[in-house]
Amino acid sequence: REGTPAVSSNQLDDKDGREEEQVVRGLGILPAQLELSTKELPWLVGDSATQRSRFAFWLQTLRRARGFRSVLVNSFPGEAVTGTAAAEDDDGPQRQAACPRVLPVGPLLVLAGCNVERAKGAGDDGGVAATNINNHPQPCSKNPSMWQADSTCIRWLDAQPAASVVYVSFGSWVGPIGHDKIRELALGLEATGRPFLWAIKDDPSWRAGLPAGYAGSVAGRGKLVDWAPQDDVLGHAAVGCYLTHCGWNSTVEAIQHGVRMLCCPVSGDQFINCAYITRVWEVGLKLGSVRRDVVRDCIERIMGGAEGTRLQEKMDALRQRAVTAEARCLAQGNLRSFVNEIKRDHPLLTQIYNIL
C-alpha cells in the first residue's frame, strides 16, 4: 500500500509471550541510524481501532502535504540542509514544487537577558551555581505555560553546586505513568545521593505513588514542585541532566540550554524524539525501565565519567547548531521567505490583511 512503510521482524521467536517487535524499513525521510521499531511509531496509542484511526489520519496528512509549497518546521537545520529559503527564495513562481521545501524556523526564541555561565558535564569544580553575578535569576523569556510555576525553584538551584542537579519532568499533558513506576523512580532518585528537582503534579494520580514520607526523607537534597519554570530551570548552571518524557518542546529547550537528557518516553512522537536524542545526536541515554537500580545507574552514567563527558561534548556541538547567531539568522530568513512567498503569490490577500 502506497505510503505505508515496510517492516521486518527482529524477533521471530515469541515463545515467552512477548509482543513481536518489528523494525520499520523504507522511511527515506529519516536517518538510517534511527531504525525505529513498530513500538515507537506515533500512532500506537489506545486499542487497535484507535491505532488504525490514527494511522489513517497521519497517512491522509502526509498525502495532503505533497501539494504544499513550503512546510515550516519548529526545528533547527542539520549539517546539510536542502530546500532552504536561501537557496530558493529568488526562484519565484516558476520554482518547481515536486515536493514542499522544508524550512527550519526554530528555535526563534533568542536567549536574550540571560547571563548564565554554564558548567555542564563531568569534572566541574563543585562550586555553587549562580544565574548571574548578582546571584539573582534573570528569566530568559515569559513563561508560556498555562500552569503556575513554583517561583522558589531558582532560589533553590542557586544554592546547589554547578552541574549537580537532576531535573525531572514529564511535561504538562502526559497522563499518569502508574503508582508503581512513580515509586521506583522516586527511590531511584533518592538512591543516587544527588540533588534533584522534580516537577510532579500535586494530584493523587501522580503523588499517591510516592513512598510514605518521601518529601521529608529527601528534604534539602530533593525538591518536589507542582510545576517548574522549565526554561529558566534548564538555563540554570546547577542543572546537570534532564530526565524527560521527550516531548518535542522539552527536547528543543534542553538543546537550547545544552542539557544532557535521560529519556523516558511515554507516548506519541516521544519515542521518535528519544531515538534522535540517543541514536542520531547521541546527547542522552534511554531508561530501559524505571526500576530504581536502573534509574540510579543511568543517572550515574550521564552525570559523571567518560560517558557523561562524551554526551556533554555531543550536546555542546548540537547546541551550537541550534542557538548560534548563524542558526537564528537562517531561521529568521526562512520565516521571511515564507511570508514573502505569500505576498508575492497572493497579493490580494496581502491587501486585505493590510486594510484590516
Tell me: pLDDT of 204 over 80: yes
- Give which of 241, 59, 270, 74 is closest to 173, Cα–Cα: 270
Residues 6+ apart with CB under 8 A from 325: none
Whose grid coordinates read 518547481? 96
Which parts of the chain are beta strand (E)?
6-9, 22-25, 70-73, 101-104, 165-169, 196-199, 222-225, 239-244, 260-263, 284-286
List alpha helices for 130-211, DSSP H: 153-158, 179-192, 204-207
Residues 35-41 have a mean pLDDT of 75
Average pLDDT, the chain: 79
Residue 73 burial (C-beta neighbours within 10 Å; 0-12, 13-18, 19+): middle
Tell me: pLDDT of 259 over 90: yes
Tell me: pLDDT of 82 over 70: no
Residues 6+ apart with CB under 8 A from 176: 182, 203, 205, 206
Q: What are the pLDDT digits (tens) for 316-354?
A: 999 988 887 778 888 888 989 998 988 888 888 778 877
Q: What is the distance in angstroms between the CA of the first residue and the CA of the last residue of the chain?
A: 46
Query: CA angle, corner 337, sides to 331 and 342, nearest 5?
Result: 135
pLDDT given at position 106: 78
Whose grid coordinates read 486499542? 47
Task: Count CB neighbours of 90 within 10 A.
Answer: 9
- Give which of 291, 292, 268, 265 is closest to 277, Cα–Cα: 265
Q: What are the pLDDT digits (tens) for 186-202?
A: 999 999 999 999 999 98
- Answer for the pair 267, 275: CB distance below 8 angstroms, yes or no: no
Cis peptide upstream of residue 107 (ω within 30 degrees of 0)? yes
Sheet of strand 239-244, all strands in order from the earlier edge strand to the far edge: 222-225, 196-199, 165-169, 239-244, 260-263, 284-286
| Domain ranges (residues) in the chain | 1-61, 67-104+326-356, 153-323
Tell me: pLDDT of 174 over 90: no
- Answer for the pair 291, 180: CB distance below 8 angstroms, yes or no: no
Query: Hey, what CATH topology would domain 153-323 get?
Result: Rossmann fold (3.40.50)
Contacts 24+ apart (CB under 8 A), 2-8: 3/59, 3/62, 3/63, 4/59, 7/38
Q: What is residue 105's three-state secondary structure?
A: coil
Band of pLDDT at residue 245, cut at 50, 70 and 90: very high
Spatial separation of the C-alpha atoms in residues 294 and 202, rounded to whole Å: 25
pLDDT given at position 11: 39
